[in-house]
Amino acid sequence: MANAQANIGVVGMAVMGSNLARNLASREGNTVAIFNRSFSKTQSVLDAHPEAGFIAAHDYKEFADSLQKPRAAIIMVKAGGPTDAVIEELVKVFEPGDIIVDGGNALFTDTIRREKAVRETGINFVGAGISGGEEGALLGPSIMPGGSDAAWEKLGPIFRSIAAIAEGEPCVTHVGHDGAGHFVKMVHNGIEYADMQLIAEAYDLIRRGTGKSPAEIAEIFAEWNKGELESYLIEITAEVLRQVDAKTGKPLVDVIVDQAGAKGTGAWTVQTALDLGIPVSGIAEAVFARSLSSKPAQRAAASALPGPDEAFVVADPEAFVEDVRQALYASKIIAYSQGFDEIVAGAEQYGWDIKKGEIAKIWRGGCIIRARFLNRITEAYAENPGLVALVTASFFAEVVTSTQAAWRRVVVAAAQAGIPSPAFSSSLAYYDGLRADRLPAALVQGQRDFFGAHTYKRVDAEGTFHTLWSGDRTEIEAEDTH
Ligand code: 6PG
């Protein structure tokens, strides 16, 4: 029987798993046990990183025996079936009080189900969102763990030791019980989709409006990254646009097929938002924009359809670029605002005590959506924990007030030029919808009552009403009709 030397284990030695294991091993006080279904992969990690001092296991029993009690192991395998398979094996060799962590991008309802099932064995199950890609896993990710308080007590110090540091604080917090961590990670990814789509639209508008090359636009993004838009995604966009294809000498972005892939977390964010009744329209448009891009047959069939007659020429390129920057900033705020609305609704629905300000804090470093203005979100929730819409907090309200004219010009220009800007325009429509005094929803209510007797409320009286639309058009209290 192996010596129980390791204080933490990692199952799954693909890039994310091995990088996370290396990150853990590099921190003072950690000894890391590793396991992979095929030992050859474990062996190659051992060979490549002798400095990590990994304890390698050939099977689950040996893995469990190499861990100090209470045992803690992080699963880093594909979401879905592969995760269930590993949990099933770990439950056989772990004991009550031990902790199984799923560090993959699991659907939060799967995490709720798994937590419930594993808890029955006395073993703790923690769904932890981990963001930051391969580099984050190795150097410091943002970690969003759910699960029980007891599990957090043991995991807290370990997670704090490997997380990214933002302004002196580790980017990890106990998000809430059972599936809360994976829920928040899902919304993180939804915001990531929206942010990426907005940046892509900004690039497209600038390129088609001003004729600038990708390399020139890279310089614009690099400049933007020095100001209020400073963020990881803006930074890497500049690098992507700068890249030249070795084979053709063209900008790499021009030789990449323009069909965006998706592993599903953005769609989950939207599906969940639909269930919760939360309008995450910017995120939804970002998901749909990827779907549209990936329909080559439909795109080919529609490619002969007409666009505007006149060519898109921007009179003042510098002013246009600044308008696009402001539109991007405003739309980005809407994406975060919608994401936080979803977190608030999810917390209410599932009984999680999620501290919104803490979430903004742990997204300041390590994760894909890290951005300068996340501190402002923390401040907004600290100032008013019951904030009903992030965009109404003073800082954000001021931003949209000062940028809305540019935002509108960009959406108008895009529509006139026939350049799709679904994320920009839906964000603006959301903003206008939210601030509207009266919405045409009143008419929709009338239509519903007309064909389905679905009833409506009046602005000047209590109660529920139904109109007898044909005949004498009398209005009656709905209760009387049943
Ligand atoms: C992260 C990323 C990461 C991954 C997603 C999105 O936070 O580190 O979000 O989880 O990039 O799976 O991938 P898709 O764009 O393929 O859906």
Q: What is the pLDDT of residues 433-465, one digit of tens each?
A: 999 999 999 999 999 999 999 999 999 999 999
Spatial separation of the C-alpha atoms in residues 482 and 479, rounded to whole Å: 6
Spatial separation of the C-alpha atoms in residues 455 and 261, rounded to whole Å: 43
Spatial separation of the C-alpha atoms in residues 351 and 345, rounded to whole Å: 10
Question: What DSSP element (H or E) covers 183?
Answer: helix 180-210
- Residue 174 per-residue DSSP state: -
**Cβ pair 147, 115 in contact under 8 A:** yes
At residue 226's C-alpha, the angle toward residues 221 and 228, to 5°, is 95
The β-bridge relationship of strands 124-131 and 165-166 is unpaired
Spatial separation of the C-alpha atoms in residues 221 and 224, rounded to whole Å: 5
- Residue 419 per-residue DSSP state: -
For 457, the token pair is 């409320």
Question: What DSSP element (H or E) covers 101?
Answer: strand 99-102
Tell me what pLDDT residue 478 has. 67
Given the residues 41, 89, 92, 192, the one annotated as active site: 192
Q: Using a 6 Å cutoff on CB, does residue 262 contact ligand 1? A: yes
Phi-psi region of 438 (alpha: psi -120 to 50; beta: other; left: phi over 0): beta
Low-confidence ranges of the chain (pLDDT < 70): 1-2, 471-475, 477-482
Count of CB atoms situated within 10 Å of the CB of 160 = 16
Tell me what pLDDT residue 470 has. 81
Per DSSP, the three-state class of 463 is coil
Tell me what pLDDT residue 482 has. 38
Q: Using a 6 Å cutoff on CB, does residue 142 contact ligand 1? A: no
Count of CB atoms situated within 10 Å of the CB of 355 = 17
Tell me what pLDDT residue 89 has. 98
Q: What are phi and psi of 393, to 5 degrees?
A: -65, 145
| Ligand 1 atom, smallest distance to 369 CA | 7
What would you report as the CA-atom Rg of the chain, rounded to the nearest whole angstrom? 26
Q: Using a 6 Å cutoff on CB, does residue 132 contact ligand 1? A: yes
Residue whose CA lies nearest to ligand 1 atom number 1: 131
Please, which residues bridge with residue 170 across strands? 165
Q: Using a 6 Å cutoff on CB, does residue 260 contact ligand 1? A: no
Spatial separation of the C-alpha atoms in residues 225 and 372, rounded to whole Å: 9
Q: Using a 6 Å cutoff on CB, does residue 15 contact ligand 1? A: no
Active site annotation includes 185: yes
The pTM of the full predicted model, rounded to 2 decimals, is 0.95
Active site annotation includes 78: no
| Ligand 1 atom, smallest distance to 132 CA | 8
pLDDT in tens, 349-383: 999 999 999 999 999 999 999 999 999 999 999 99
Residue found by looking up tokens 């009690």 in the block: 69
For 361, the token pair is 């804090």
For 253, the token pair is 């972005």
Please, which residues bridge with residue 371 across strands? 231
Spatial separation of the C-alpha atoms in residues 387 and 341, rounded to whole Å: 10
Spatial separation of the C-alpha atoms in residues 125 and 55, rounded to whole Å: 23
Spatial separation of the C-alpha atoms in residues 204 and 216, rounded to whole Å: 13
